[in-house]
Copies of this chain bind each other. A is one copy, B any other.
Amino acid sequence: MNTPTKPDVLKVLAFDVFGTVVDWHGSIVREVGALGLGVDAVDFATAWRNGYRPAMARVRSGELPWTRIDELHRMILDQVLIDFGIHSLNEAQKHELNLVWHRLSPWPDAVSGLLRLKRKFTIVTLSNGNLGLLADMAKNAGLPWDLILSAEVFRHYKPDPETYLGVGQTFDLPPEQTMLVAAHKDDLEAAHRLGLQTAFIERPTEFGPKHQRTDLNHETWTNYHAADFNQLANQLGA
């Protein structure tokens, strides 16, 4: 049984983006595969993404000064290219490959679901992606955000509290009138502890067919649990 839901007080839905709205794994596998680098594109995509949390942790701890995801993605990419023994890309090609994160494909339900949810709620991003990345992605994929909020605005990466609480502060609302929508329970747990409502979205193939996610269990502390954005729209009467 989920926490009693409070759709009537809800005003703003804040969406995690990588994995929740867009399929980073499938998009990167396609682009890396098309480059013909002679590597396993699935392993390459996984390695690139695996560098994400450690890189952000270095910013969160203060070891690195504020650094945007674009720059972190590039630092990780340079190491992954070494690890995979790829020496054939020139600087322009590396730069272009790094921009794959700006053109990730949305999950099939994302645009239609967001358009429904936008009729009833203010829909915003709450992503560690930088503003330029998220704006390029939205323009490319047709994501109809009312506002793009980013770690770059708050100068803090999730799960720092400044990010989750920043959503309500932006709109002069208490946390319970905002909701984090995400495919990651640790992200939702951090938001829940700060008083936001939460919606878990099942994305079983976020990490690709080789690494299907198995923990799609309902949790007692989430307010909503949906297979995709259209099911969430149904649950919220949008």
Contact partner of A146 (CB less than 8 A), chosen from B124, B130, B135, B171, is B135
Contact partner of A170 (CB less than 8 A), chosen from B131, B171, B172, is B131
Interface membership of chain A positions 131-160, coded 1 if the CB is closer than 8 angstroms to chain B and 0 otherwise: 110111011000000111100110000000
Least Cβ distance of A165 to chain B in Å? Answer: 14
Neighbouring B residues of A124 by C-beta, 8 Å: 135
Taking a contact as CB atoms under 8 Å apart, the answer to whether A146 and B138 are in contact is yes
Least Cβ distance of A78 to chain B in Å? Answer: 17
* Contact-residue size bin, chain A (C-beta under 8 Å from the other chain): 20 to 34
CA distance A149 to B152 in the complex (A): 12
Neighbouring B residues of A170 by C-beta, 8 Å: 130-132, 135
Main secondary structure of the interface of A (DSSP, over half): helix
Q: Which residue of B lies closest to A144 (CB)?
A: B144
Q: Which residue of B lies closest to A99 (CB)?
A: B172
Neighbouring B residues of A147 by C-beta, 8 Å: 131-132, 134-135, 138, 148
CA distance A149 to B131 in the complex (A): 9
Least Cβ distance of A33 to chain B in Å? Answer: 26
Taking a contact as CB atoms under 8 Å apart, the answer to whether A139 and B146 are in contact is yes
Taking a contact as CB atoms under 8 Å apart, the answer to whether A153 and B131 are in contact is yes
A70 in contact (CB, < 8 A): yes
Q: Which residue of B lies closest to A154 (CB)?
A: B153
A205 in contact (CB, < 8 A): no
Neighbouring B residues of A122 by C-beta, 8 Å: 135-136, 139
CA distance A148 to B148 in the complex (A): 7
Neighbouring B residues of A130 by C-beta, 8 Å: 170
16 interchain pairs (CB within 8 A)?
A: A70-B172, A122-B135, A124-B135, A130-B170, A131-B147, A132-B170, A132-B171, A134-B147, A135-B146, A135-B147, A135-B170, A138-B146, A138-B147, A139-B146, A152-B153, A153-B153
In the A-B complex, the 9 residue pairs with the closest CB atoms = A135-B147, A132-B171, A132-B170, A139-B146, A135-B146, A131-B170, A153-B153, A147-B148, A131-B147
